[in-house]
Structure 1
């Protein structure tokens, strides 16, 4: 059975851009789409009173989903969830077992970081799963060919998600660069153990070119990753999120969260196994 991509849509600009990106990605890797709209009708939803939620009737939602699905060039199934997005997504993931969750990142430029409530962070904290976040400012929705994998120097495993991640990279035929942000000046030379850890995940298997490596020394890993992940150099940045990153509200201040909020290129988050 072909792999699937679970794409969230609220019919706003960011979601539409993410849908275009997901459709092109699905075509490139031979996947199908599961289009999910969540009616955020929970009284506990923090965005219920901000005006940031669509307020469509069920009939209007069905019509919009039908129109969107009819314009896609890849196989697609559409469904409607209810309540808090993170729980609706967890339910859909349990039924469809997608390779990725895909969603758009809206424009948060007018909001202070501490006031930003993001669907991606809530989903990752509630039920960590491979997720692709597409910024609303993305200029091109063509499949990525130049990937930047940012690592922290510690060993990691992708557990049950390793196979899907390997298939994605191999199907894309992308060029992979591994970036290690080191805190110590003594770590300017690449540590073979870091690259061995990446190789053991299988992410470099069947890639068309040799994996490139780069080490930078900086006390600020977020800034270093964002500086490296420029649109003129890379099409996608891949982050490994460790279980400790998801504990409580601290996740909103983690490296993963900050790169998700600020990156100018799509961000693929791969949760590490415990």
Structure 2
């Protein structure tokens, strides 16, 4: 099965950076790219207020996409959709069945989390697909060391399990399971439970290297994950996003949202079912 990566592009710098990252990743994986540009036409779209919705004609968009495709090293096709990003992505997923959706993330550190609206956060609520969020400044290096941050509860990836396993086999990468707890006893016990939960999904079977573990005592799980990620010992952070994280205002208090908004390295989000 040949891997494909669906990359969101809007001709702004964060999306261009994510596309360059996806192109390098596709080369490392032997994957192909599908570029998706969504024309957000609704006048009430809140992104119109930020100046982040393009007003290009369809002809200009086609020319711009063709130029992007020509500049890529990996084989690629481009598509244009209309309306809400999440709906457009859902339709594209049905046609292409990519292993990942790749998108950029602009720097929002100067804004309260509750006021941040990004395509990544919107899509996580509605599109149950593995997603790689690439922050500005993240430089590509073949992802060989993945920090898998887990709580102590069992989880299932459902129909995405096969795609995720295929992606991990294609990398291949060393996995380190991290659990953050409020005290040492909780952190140690939680790490053991997290490893067991990961092994039950089958993602840790036949790894090239043994599954590693790390536990950390920290006041908040999100803060602890970001602290370990900032050590420079890893290439990606991997999070499992649970449905309960996306309900109303609780979403912005979730660990997933906090790490997505503040990580300086790419974050791979795996939706649990």
Same fold (TM over 0.5): yes
TM-score bucket (shorter structure) = over 0.9
Cα–Cα, structure 1 residues 111 and 189, in superposed 2: closer, same or farther, change >3 Å?
A: closer
| 1:162 counterpart = 2:161 | yes
Answer 1 or 2: which has greater helix percent: 2
Give the structure-1-normalised TM-score.
Answer: 0.94
Post-superposition Cα deviations, 1:10-54, rounded to whole Å, max 9, x if no partner, equal 111111111111112122222211100111111231111221222
Worse-matched range after superposition: 96-105 or 244-253 = 244-253
Q: Deviations over 1:245-270 (max 9, x none)?
A: 12223212211001000001000000
Does the C-alpha gap of structure 1 residues 230 and 26 become closer, same or farther in structure 2, counting only changes over 3 Å? Answer: same
Q: Which moved more, 1:94-103 or 1:179-188?
A: 179-188
Q: Could you tell me which runs of 5 or more consecutive residues in structure 2 were left unpaired when the two chains were aligned.
A: none
1:113 and 1:187 map into 2 onto residues whose CA distance is 27
How far, CA to CA, are the matches of 1:230 and 1:146 in structure 2?
13
2:152 corresponds to 1:153: yes
Partner of 1:30: 30
Q: Distance in 2 between matches of 1:186 and 1:114?
A: 32
By how many angstroms is 1:74 displaced?
1.4
In 2, the alpha carbon distance for the partners of 1:184 and 1:155 equals 21
2:44 aligned partner: 44
2:133 touches 2:266 (CA, 8 Å); kept in 1? yes
1:120-131 to structure 2, matched below 5 A, reads 120-131=120-131
Match of 1:177 in 2: 176
Distance 1:231 1:169, change over 3 A: farther
Q: How does 1:24-173 map to 2 (within 5 A)?
A: 24-138=24-138, 140-173=139-172
Partner of 2:50, secondary structure, is: coil
Shift of 1:231: 5.8
TM-score (norm 2): 0.94
Query: What is the deviation of 1:235?
Result: 0.8
Number of equivalenced pairs: 272
